[in-house]
Amino acid sequence: MTTIDQSGNKHVLDTASVVPLQAAPPGLEAEEKGDANADADHSGLDPHVWLDPLNMITIADAMTDRLAAARPDEAAQFRTNLASLTASLKNLDGDYRTGLARCSTTTFITTHAAFAYMAREYGLTQIGITGIDPDEQPSPARIAAIQAAAKQHKITTIFYETLVSPAVAKSIAGDLGLRTDVLDPIEGITPQSRGTDYLAIMQSNLTALRTANGCS
């Protein structure tokens, strides 16, 4: 029985049923051993589908269908709201495509490897200091590998997020004389977030990526 089944809610949407989850990056131990085929207990599936605006359009469309079926008297308003949201998400997608089309480097380093869907959609390469679990702690060997990758790809910035300690990112950046900045996986909004909603924070993430990667 799934968590959704256990909730007891009658009207639910499992977003994985409309946007299939992709395999998460290997865990740190698997990466260090060179095991690209880490088992599911170690790598599992990556839930961060919302960081690709096109996935959000698919999810919003499916959610609107569910809402309209549950409350048919309000279906017209749901459709109107969907049209507005879809237009905003398409504009966001266009901003990412244009903004990340010409960059000095297409690789970025972040503490939490949450950005694979976004990176895949816009031609970027994510290197995570930790894996899909933000609470993982990198080994000295992993930190050395990150430092080597930063030099190889001419990285200017090590990214961290608002809900996890930036200590590791700042330590690596300090050792290499690099900057740090926020790349937000939008797992929670706090007073420190660079925006009060999804669209604003995604725009902030785009600005941070463009600056770090020398995009024109």
Residues belonging to the chain:
216
Q: Which CATH architecture has domain 103-212?
A: 3-Layer(aba) Sandwich (3.40)
Give me the phi and psi of 102, to 5 degrees please. -130, 100
Bridge partners, residue 159, by sequence? 110, 181
CB 185 within 8 A of CB 211: no
CB 54 within 8 A of CB 121: yes
For the segment 15-30, what is each residue's pLDDT rounded down to a tens digit? Answer: 999 999 999 876 554 4
What's residue 78's pLDDT?
Answer: 97
Distance CA 105, CA 108 (A): 8
Q: How confident is the model at residue 36 (pLDDT cuts 50, 70, 90)?
A: very low
What's residue 32's pLDDT?
Answer: 52
Kindly give the pairing relationship between strand 22-23 and strand 45-46: antiparallel
Lowest mean per-residue pLDDT among 2-6, 79-83, 209-213: 2-6
DSSP string, 144-185: HHHHHHHHHTT--EEEE-TTS--HHHHHHHHHHT-EEEE---
What's residue 41's pLDDT?
Answer: 36
Distance CA 64, CA 15 (A): 12
Three-class DSSP category at 33: helix
Instruction: Read off the pLDDT of each residue in 84-89 and give the average, rounded to a whole number.
Output: 98
